[in-house]
Amino acid sequence: MKARAAERGLDATTAVRDGDPTKVVPAYADEVDADLLVVGSHGKTPREKVQGLGSVSEAVVKSTDRAVLVVGVGSGRGADRDAGEEADEEADE
C-alpha cells in the first residue's frame, strides 16, 4: 500500500494494533494526526452487505471525527484481488 501511495505522490502510513478497534484506531489516528483512515469491511450480514458497511467498520466510523474511507473486501466483485486494486479500478470508472 505504501508503494502504491508513493507512486501517486501520496504519503501513507500503515499500522497494526491489537485491541478494540473503536478505541485503538481513533487513538492511533490522533497520535499520528491522520488526515484519512482507511478500513476494510467484510459486510457479513445481509444488512451489512446492502449497506456496504460491516459492524466493526461502522463502529470505527462512529468513534472518530476524522475522515474514514471504508473499502469492501472479501466477497463479491474483486474478492480475489487486493482491496487497493479494486479501489483503484473503481476510481478509474
Residue pLDDT, tens place only, 35-76: 999 888 776 666 656 565 677 888 899 999 999 988 877 655
So what's the pLDDT on residue 56? 84
Do residues 14 and 1 make contact, with C-beta atoms less than 8 angstroms apart? yes
Record the pTM.
Answer: 0.63
So what's the pLDDT on residue 58? 86
Do residues 27 and 33 make contact, with C-beta atoms less than 8 angstroms apart? no
| Mean pLDDT, rounded, for 18-46 | 87
Cβ contacts of 48 within 8 Å, gap of 6 or more: 41, 42, 54, 55
Do residues 37 and 67 make contact, with C-beta atoms less than 8 angstroms apart? yes
The answer on pLDDT for 24 being more than 70 is yes
The answer on pLDDT for 17 being more than 70 is yes
Phi then psi for residue 38, to 5 deg, are -115, 120
